[in-house]
Chain A
Amino acid sequence: RKEVEQDPGPFNVPEGATVAFNCTYSNSASQSFFWYRQDCRKEPKLLMSVYSSGNEDGRFTAQLNRASQYISLLIRDSKLSDSATYLCVVTPFNTGFQKLVFGTGTRLLVSP
């Protein structure tokens, strides 16, 4: 079983739509959680961290469900510029040196 699993998509949505991605992780002791965004042929960049209480940044909302071992990303009012691959990232508990485990990504395509 992969440590971090994501639906690869693509998710095709029209502008203005709300879309949500889930990501599951296998290590129940995982400590930190993030969403990174990767544009086509570009490097990944941190989109947002995911906190236990959930957090929001503009149109983006991230949630963590430790009991079910998944994190989610909700994008409201999708823009064309949101088209990208969204990487779910988890830090296992006892690695000691900030090792990140990346999911393979969920591709989002926002159309006019």
Chain B
Amino acid sequence: DVKVTQSSRYLVKRTGEKVFLECVQDMDHENMFWYRQDPGLGLRLIYFSYDVKMKEKGDIPEGYSVSREKKERFSLILESASTNQTSMYLCASSLSLTDLAGGVTYEQYFGPGTRLTVT
């Protein structure tokens, strides 16, 4: 059973603080993702990583950075938290599966989320 864990369920930080959100998966997945989810906007991809030390920007990377030093761990960093970064942050991992036709299908497994409030 795939398990993705996140370091905190709830976090309250002050504007300007540096914030670390940690994510760990136990299924040896190559791919890991960070999303934020906001009402009316759905899930939006911040960053993803397809291998150790590799990272790619998603749709909304501004104000965030990431780190992947080990395969099982993917960290999201808010260098200087701002109030507009108040959100639910969801981590996910996936192992790409190739279907018989040679295409690629994906299933992402999500962690429980971290609700971050920046005051």
- Give the interface of A toward B (CB within 8 A): 8, 31-32, 34, 42-46, 49, 87, 91, 97-100, 102-105
Chain B interfacial residues counted at CB < 8 A: 25
Nearest A residue to B9 via CB reads A41
Complex contact B48–A49 (CB within 8 A): no
A99 to B43, CA, bound (A): 12
Q: Cβ of B112 and Cβ of A43 under 8 Å apart? A: yes
Within the assembled complex, what's the spacing in Å between the Cα atoms of A32 and B97? Answer: 12
Bound complex: CA of A49 vs CA of B105, how far in Å? 9
Residues on B facing A (Cβ under 8 Å)? 31, 35, 40-45, 48, 50, 56, 58, 90, 94, 96, 103-108, 110-113
List residues of chain B with CB within 8 A of the CB of A42. 112
Which chain A residues lie closer than 8 Å to B43 at the CB level? Answer: 44, 87, 102
Report the separation of the CA atoms of residues A32 and B96 in the bound assembly, to the nearest whole angstrom. 12
**Distance between Cα atoms of A31 and B96 in the complex (Å):** 14
Per a CB cutoff under 8 Å, which of A87, A97, A105 touches B50? A97
Chain B: CB-nearest residue to A102: B43
Cα separation A105 to B96 with both chains bound (whole Å):
24
Partner of A43, one of B40, B44, B50, B110: B110
| A31→B31 contact, CB < 8 A | no
Residues on B with C-beta less than 8 A from A97 are 31, 48, 50, 56
Most buried by A among B45, B48, B103, B105: B105
Chain B residues with Cβ below 8 Å from A102 are 35, 42-44
- The CA-CA distance from A45 to B42 in the complex, in Å, is 14
Of the residues B31, B35, B107, contact of A46 by C-beta under 8 Å? B107
CA distance A34 to B56 in the complex (A): 23
Complex Cα distance, B94 from A99, in Å, reads 10
Q: Are A43 and B106 in contact (CB under 8 A)?
A: no
- How distant is B24 from chain A, measured CB to nearest CB, in Å? 15
**What is the bound-complex CA distance between A80 and B63, given in angstroms?**
41
By a CB distance below 8 angstroms, the chain B residues around A100 are 45, 106, 108
B104: chain A residues within 8 A (beta carbon): 31-32, 98
